[in-house]
Amino acid sequence: MDQEAKERGEAAVSRLQATFAELRERLDAGMVGQSRTVLNILVTLLADGHVLLEGAPGLAKTRMARLLAESFEGVFHRIQFTPDLLPSDLTGSTIYDQREHRFDFQTGPLFGNFILADEINRAPAKVQSALLEAMEERQITAGKTSYPLEQPFFVIATQNSIEHEGTWELPQAQLDRFLLHVAINYPESVAEREILDLAMREAAAEGWATPPHLITKPELAEARRAVLAVHVSEPVRNYVVRLVAGTRGDPEPIDGVGEHLSHPASPRGSISLVRASQARAWLVGRDYVVPEDIGDLAPDVLRHRVGLSYRAEAEGVEPGEIIDALLERIPVV
């Protein structure tokens, strides 16, 4: 019986992997030239994290969030962040019911499953703090009462990389709550032609095609459990720790790293890198993590967890260059 149960479990996992492979193909078709972004967003979802997308206007960040949300069972809410936004605009507020002579809590848009926090850096710190509790604690507190958020709760936040007037820099505590920080670049000319053709087809058909199958909440929960079962060997875990500890000059300083950092990555960086690598391995059909998973995800996991020194800013050094130096100089074994 144990063998039969094991075989049934393996068959269920294989069906789930096939379902997510089909989803990935569909998202790739709808997001021309952004296959890496598609993969990393699915990685974040399966690892039960949140993702920050950064790129110039017009690179389909909002489209990506909508395509993903419409492929799953659940509630999608889009929140446009502005300087005059209040925390209650996100969380909801308590309203007095004159007929019943009592106060009732009216939920806000954070009470959903897929949340698009559009242009997140346009809201002030008090709004950021309201979102921070929801992201980290998976609950919202109003007055003396805390309201748990339904699973899945997945935040896709966007920010504009070229416009800084009227924006607030995200606090490090909030940045650290994003599993991945994905930088979206301009497409190549060949991909842009495909994007143009796709937009014309969708305009003629009045929208994009409805997904053939909505992935249910139990299916997503089962996929997340399968991701947690992906094997991470001791040498791979040691490699992850050496990478993250390398931002702290432990056990010895690395040229091109320490002098360019004002603060290094915390142990949450190690945890996030392993969780994301498990999801990536599962998505590509493996039940074990390899060093290539770590190397591919390290820039998106670590770039927002380190701070640049004044020297780095003066010399024009970017976080990605520092992480590349770590990957180049720290051996896998």
Are 144 and 89 in the same domain? yes
Coil, strand or helix at 189: helix
Q: Report residue 133's pLDDT band, with 50, 70 and 90 as the boundaries.
A: confident
Comparing 142-151, 265-274, 275-284, the range with the smallest average pLDDT is 142-151
Higher pLDDT, 153 or 251: 153
> Around 88, how many Cα atoms within 13 Å sit in the side-chain half-sphere?
7
Q: Is 113 domain-assigned?
A: yes
Q: Is 223 domain-assigned?
A: no
What are the two backbone dihedrals, phi and then psi, of residue 65, each rounded to the nearest 5 degrees? -60, -40
At 294 the pLDDT is 96
CB neighbour class for 234 (10 Å; exposed up to 12, middle 13-18, buried from 19): exposed
Q: How much is the average pLDDT of 89-103?
A: 85
Structure tokens at 313: 């800013």
Choosing from 153, 188, 217, the residue where a domain stops is: 217
Residue % of the chain over a pLDDT of 90: 48
Number of structural domains found in the chain = 2
CA dihedral 164, 170, 171, 176 (to 10 degrees): -140
Comparing 1-5, 52-56, 70-74, 234-238, the range with the smallest average pLDDT is 1-5
Q: Tell me which H or E stretch contains 36.
A: helix 35-46
Higher pLDDT, 209 or 283: 283
Q: Which residues pair with 139 in a beta bridge?
A: 148
Asked if residue 278 has pLDDT above 90, the reply is: yes
Q: Is 114 domain-assigned?
A: yes
CB-based contacts of 316: which residues, under 8 Å, 6+ apart?
Answer: none
pLDDT tens string 13-54: 788 999 999 999 999 988 888 999 999 999 999 999 999 999
Residues in the chain: 333
CB neighbour class for 12 (10 Å; exposed up to 12, middle 13-18, buried from 19): middle
- Report the DSSP pairing between strands 261-263 and 307-308: antiparallel
At 121 the pLDDT is 87
Please tell me the pTM assigned to this model: 0.91
Are 234 and 325 in the same domain? yes
DSSP letter assigned to residue 260 = G
Q: Report residue 242's pLDDT band, with 50, 70 and 90 as the boundaries.
A: very high
Q: What is the mean pLDDT of the chain?
A: 88
Q: Report residue 226's pLDDT band, with 50, 70 and 90 as the boundaries.
A: very high
Q: How much is the average pLDDT of 189-200?
A: 90
Are 21 and 122 in the same domain? yes
Q: How remote is the C-alpha of 99 from its chain's centroid? A: 44
Are 113 and 194 in the same domain? yes
Residue numbers of the domain that contains 156? 2-217
Are 23 and 170 in the same domain? yes
Q: Report residue 6's pLDDT band, with 50, 70 and 90 as the boundaries.
A: low
CATH of the domain at 294: 1.10.8.80
Are 72 and 189 in the same domain? yes
Q: Report residue 164's pLDDT band, with 50, 70 and 90 as the boundaries.
A: low
Q: Is 21 domain-assigned?
A: yes
Are 53 and 155 in the same domain? yes
Q: How much is the average pLDDT of 135-143?
A: 87
Are 13 and 45 in the same domain? yes
Q: How much is the average pLDDT of 133-137?
A: 89
Q: Angle CA(138)–CA(143)–CA(147) in degrees, nearest 5?
A: 30
At 251 the pLDDT is 77
Q: Is 224 domain-assigned?
A: no
At 241 the pLDDT is 95
CATH of the domain at 128: 3.40.50.300
Asked if residue 1 has pLDDT above 60, the reply is: no
Asked if residue 75 has pLDDT above 60, the reply is: yes
Q: Are 134 and 29 in contact (CB under 8 A)?
A: no
Q: Is 222 domain-assigned?
A: no
Are 48 and 136 in the same domain? yes
Are 253 and 196 in the same domain? no
Choosing from 217, 242, 277, the residue where a domain stops is: 217
Are 113 and 52 in the same domain? yes
Q: Is 225 domain-assigned?
A: no
Are 209 and 245 in the same domain? no
Choosing from 174, 195, 217, the residue where a domain stops is: 217
Buried b (16+ CB within 10 A) or exposed e, 141-150: ebeeeeeebe
pLDDT tens string 283-309: 999 999 999 999 999 999 999 999 888
